[in-house]
Amino acid sequence: MTESTQNVHVHRHGAVGHLSLNRPKAIHSLTLDMCEAMIAALVEWKDDDSIRAVIVDHAEGRGFCAGGDVTLLRKSALEDEGASGRHFFDVEYKLNHLMFTYPKPIVAFMDGITMGGGVGISQPAKYRVATENTKFAMPETGIGLICDVGGGWYLSRLRGRLGQFLGLTGARLDGAECLAVGLATHYLPHERLSEAKARIISHPEDIEGTLEGQSFAPPPARISGNLDLIDRLFASNSLEDIIAALEADGGDWAAKELKTLRTKSPSACKNVLKQLELGAACETFAENMAMELRGASRAITRHDFAEGVRALLVDKDNNPQWQPATPEEVTEEMVESLYAPLPADQEWKPL
């Protein structure tokens, strides 16, 4: 058994391909090997007429996928000027794009923690199943990164200013909230997942009917009560304006979100606002991913990424020293340079 198949179980059940993440100690965070194994299986099944659908889930543990291998990315930034990190992003984004354009239905089970890279392999799926365990977030501004893996496309296409709010604050949504805002297509209780998967395997031609039949009325979505606040307070593409609006509001919700926002990398926050602006203007998902490769591959070589990962995962002091330390010190030139074209041989291309 290879390293990649230890970390991803690749199965076939009759007419259904099955990719099951199997790196539970790291909450199934994606490694290069895992991305390559998933690509290989999906490419093989794509042209196999006997495969009608694909299931993506996790083998065990408390989360679907907590993200990408950020310790590898930090090591790359410190040791090889980001070259191996850029290669990881290139392959991961090829996987994201392959899933986004896949000709057969993919069913992603977002049961548990679904963050960063986990968002990247669930949002392209035609069917996205949330449960009472789902914790969805794009928390990259807390480690000096952008909301990559397609965040520029998905977040910018959510209603109102919800995408900007999620991208800046890293706010966590539960399963009911994911369904309410369109990040999930179905809501199933965890206890019904095994039955749902078995029925999909038995009847791959009627995934919609299976998921509807197993679906359950979710509890009220808490985010719904805050959407008007989000639209008003996060209305600007200027980070300084958003902070000023939160300061001026005076309400408890605004105060809580302001406190959260002040813990994030000012550079990353401005980079994410620009990313969503650029992503909204992209006509194709491939165009978005090329933009994100430019941004992410450069972001990991800048100070705040290594410092953010240090504070969160290495020293675990949760006290990152951001540089620049304030939004006002982050210039438009710094942001624009993140997304400037790469040398031709480094630009991202789909498979």
Give catalytic residues, as residue numbers: 68, 117, 140, 148
* Four-point Cα dihedral 141, 142, 145, 148, nearest 10: -60
Please answer whether residues 275 and 147 qualify as being in contact, where contact means their C-beta atoms are separated by less than 8 angstroms: yes
Provide DSSP, 76-108: HHHHSTTHHHHHHHHHHHHHHHHHHT-SS-EEE
CA 137/CA 215 separation, integer angstroms: 23
> Which residues are registered as beta bridge partners of 174?
135
For residues 222 and 214, give the distance between their C-alpha atoms in angstroms, rounded to a whole number.
23
Q: Which residues of 28-62 are buried (b: 16+ CB within 10 A; e: fewer)?
A: bbbbbbbbbbbbebbeebeeeeebbbbbbbbeebe
Q: 203 phi and psi, to 5 degrees?
A: -135, 70
Find how far residue 235's CA is from the centre of its chain: 22
User: Rounded distance, CA 220 to CA 260, Å?
Assistant: 24
**Cα separation, 19 vs 134, whole angstroms:** 19
CA distances from 265 to 28, 239, 249, 289, 293 (A): 26, 11, 22, 22, 19
Distances (CA, A) of 144 to 106, 277, 323: 31, 18, 10
Query: 29 near 69, Cβ under 8 Å?
Result: yes
